[in-house]
Amino acid sequence: MNLIYSFFEKLFALVFAPTVQKTIEKIILILAALGFFIHLTLIFLKSQGFVIFSPIYPELLNDPISAIYTPFSLILIYEVYLLLFYLPRSFTSCVSKQFEIISLIVIRKIFKDIPQMDLTNNWFTSNHNLELMTDLLGFLFLFLLIFLFNKSKQRLPKKSVEDSRLIQFISSKKTVSVVLFGVLAIMLFSTFFRWIFDIIYEQSVPKLDSLFFNQFFTLLILADVVILLISFRYTEEYSKLIRNTGFIIATILIRLSFSSEGYLTMILILTGVSFALLILRIYNAIEHPKINSTV
């Protein structure tokens, strides 16, 4: 078992080395800029009648503002990579990164929906306009919840990694992180090529906003459950187990938001993040009452 942990620790150090992170960051930024200009070019060609595109995703080819959707999608991929890097650190840090990812997904959807606003006199009767306003207000509330969650997370005392059981637990999480990285890399390329195939041959594709991330959060739930089960071996603290279980419930609610429509999407996201925040606040009050009473 120690040999397996040692092997995956080396892989983790290789995949998430600072130089590798910087390289991936530069590649993503270059691809994001390139994708943005390509998207703008396609919008221009369509507006001038030089090219006639399939009616698939017309909302992304009608207005230059929609071109922001492409670089945001690529930046989200880098955020997923960073989430896997934070996974071995702590459950709380990983959940915080999940919330940041879902907030970027929401703002990406907003950029896609803004050009489709109905600006007639009766704009408030449009379901699209009302849903967009809900997303905007929901995003502000989501941003506030993430701020409060990170603030509560910072109040947790730092623990030195000296206990052999804790070191072994971190090694277990690094193993999960590396395996998750490999599976997600395969899923990413598979989703991309299937998306291209469906556009060319099937003329129909799944809901764009949930593409890849639907599967990603499903896999993340499974990974969280695996880590939770592993944690039973290293800790018997009731409050910590309940906290981690609560975080998994929050992730499940976020996952369900990708399968929902309309206002329910934002309701599920805000419910998930609010639930995680309350869980963390209660955990802090139980484990560190003196710290919380003085803050």
pTM, rounded to two decimals? 0.84
Q: Which of 206-210, 225-229, 235-239, 244-248 has the highest mean pLDDT?
A: 244-248
User: 122-142: per-residue pLDDT in tens?
Assistant: 777 778 888 889 999 999 999
Least reliable range by pLDDT among 26-30, 192-196, 244-248: 192-196
If you average pLDDT over residues 74-97, what whole number do you get? 89
95 domain residue, yes or no = yes
Domain membership of residue 216 as a residue range:
2-115+125-155+164-294
Please say whether the beta carbons of 69 and 108 come within 8 A. Answer: yes
194 has pLDDT over 50: yes
- Kindly state whether residue 14 falls inside one of the protein's structural domains: yes
CA torsion angle for 86, 184, 14, 100 (degrees, to 10)?
-30
Residue at 173 is within a domain? yes
Q: Give the pLDDT confidence score for residue 238 in this predicted structure.
A: 83
Of 56, 83, 71, the closest CA to residue 254 belongs to: 83
- On whether residue 120 sits in a domain, the answer given is no
**Residue 205 maps to a domain:** yes
Torsion-angle region of 19 (φ positive above 0: left; ψ -120 to 50: alpha; else: beta): alpha
**What is the tally of structural domains in the chain?**
1
Q: Is 247 exposed, middle or buried (0-12, 13-18, 19+ CB in 10 A)?
A: buried
Q: Is residue 40 part of a domain?
A: yes
Quick one: average pLDDT of 257-269?
89
Q: Is residue 61 part of a domain?
A: yes
In sequence order, what are the residues at sequence separation of 6 or more whose Cβ sits closer than 8 angstroms to the Cβ of residue 7? none
Residue 79 neighbours by CB distance under 10 Å: 16
The answer to whether residue 207 sits within a structural domain is yes
- The residue that leads in pLDDT, 213 or 40, is 40
